[in-house]
Amino acid sequence: MAITYLKRGKPDTLRIEENTQVRSVVEGILSDIEMRGDAAIRELSAKFDKYMPVSFRLSDGDIDALMNRVSPRDMADIKFAQAQVRNFAQAQRNSIKDIEVETLPGVVLGHRNIPVRSVGCYIPGGKFPMVASAHMSVVTAAVAGVSRIVAATPPFRGEPNPAVIAAMKLGGAHEIYVMGGVQAVGAMAIGTASISPVDMLVGPGNAFVAEAKRQLYGRVGIDLFAGPTETMVIADDTVDAEICATDLLGQAEHGYNSPAVLLTNSRTLADATLREIDRLLAILPTAETARPSWENYGEVIVCDTHEEMLDVANEIASEHVQVMTDRDDWYLENMHSYGALFLGARTNVANGDKVIGTNHTLPTKKAGRYTGGLWVGKFLKTHSYQKVLTDEAATMIGSYGSRLCLLEGFVGHAEQCNLRVRRFGGRSLGYGQAAD
């Protein structure tokens, strides 16, 4: 058995160097926001977005005026997409239950699923207006019951993008800001004189946004590390080079550093896909971004068997995994590390990105090894509680607690239990003594 790379992306050493540079830039920006607040936001917006409004927050009148610029067809399409996302998110929410159970006579344990109180949703849009990201973040937060949803997006060609603003408003955003990049997520997390801080940040973004979320984690919660788009196509000779090349470049056009990987057991398909990518890049209008992604981050890997392909796919843990083989459900059953699966040639990653209903904010940089993507459950906190209803239960649990606390040397802990044994069990028990 053998694994052959017909094309490799940049070596990890160069990628680490790029990440180090990004980390330093983000640290400086967040420190500036911490120190100077709104003044820093204004300067950063002028520097990076060439955008200097009177107010970054849109008024109701501003929002209405922008929504009136959206065509009826586009508005209908936005509403259709949001309905799909909302329906799936609601089904997920319905599957999450509060519980209460009597685990012993008189002992009641339970948990409640409580929405995060405030969320900042970042909607990318500097290069392409990411209308769909508003559905994925804002709509899902609304279904979860978040009471304050703040949404921020960069200006597009010098002004707010009407379709993005419409999607934010229709999705349920309570506050909408026209701010981009690190300054947007920094303002929402840190807060300024004009922007109250949120409890959680969600949404995808470029390498700088992803790094800002990483550095802000702990101060606020985050959904996951959702950096530049990644895609993998797992294919055998049941499909052709055109569909493989199209699906690879469809995600490579996101940005200059979006990894795209073909994983196949067909050398013929691999060679044909390389030729087809060259052909498509000559006619693709977004080749300016797709070409450097493919040249620097694209990979073609040929394996002997499906088992080898499975191992490689789980090791790479790509964000999007398009599976087009004679055994798609076998991959569904056996893959364990990825963002989302797209099974069969009839679906594709763009469906998931824009309309089908599953969330498109997904783990990147191998984070699929330990987390799934954004979903309604990310906006919920599961909090436990306990009740002891009878004197007999208080005495019984207290006696066990007393002995177990002293086993660890915690006398103060033991006395919390002992006090209940004395009061509710009527026992005479010396201070710091283990209950019988």
Instruction: List, by residue number, the catalytic residues.
Output: 319-320
Q: Tell me the C-alpha distance between 140 and 173, whole Å.
A: 11
**Helix-helix angle 162-171:60-67, to 10 degrees:** 120
Burial (CB count <10 Å: 0-12, 13-18, 19+), residue 94: exposed
| Six token digits for residue 262 | 């073909």
Long-range contact list for 98-106, CB < 8 A, 24+ apart?
Answer: 104/393, 104/396, 104/397, 105/390, 105/392, 105/393, 106/388, 106/389, 106/390, 106/392, 106/393, 106/394
Cα 207–chain centre separation:
14
Q: How far apart are CA 53 and CA 192, in angstroms?
A: 16
Helix (H, G, I), strand (E, B) or coil at 6: strand
Burial class (CB in 10 A: 0-12, 13-18, 19+), 123: buried
Task: Say which residues have a Cβ less than 8 Å from residue 156's Cβ, sequence separation at least 6.
Answer: 125, 126, 129, 164
Six-digit token string for 323? 């599976």
Structure tokens at 187: 């303002």
Residues 6+ apart with CB under 8 A from 69: 162
How far is the C-alpha of 294 from the C-alpha of 423, rounded, in Å?
72
Element at 414 (helix H, strand E): helix 411-425
Spatial strand order in the sheet of 175-178 = 175-178, 148-153, 118-122, 200-202, 221-222
SS3 string, 60-104, reads: HHHHHHHHCCCCHHHHHHHHHHHHHHHHHHHHHHHCCCCEEEEEE
84: exposed, middle or buried (Cβ count in 10 Å: 0-12, 13-18, 19+): middle
Dihedral, CA of residue 51, residue 53, residue 58 and residue 59, to nearest 10: -160
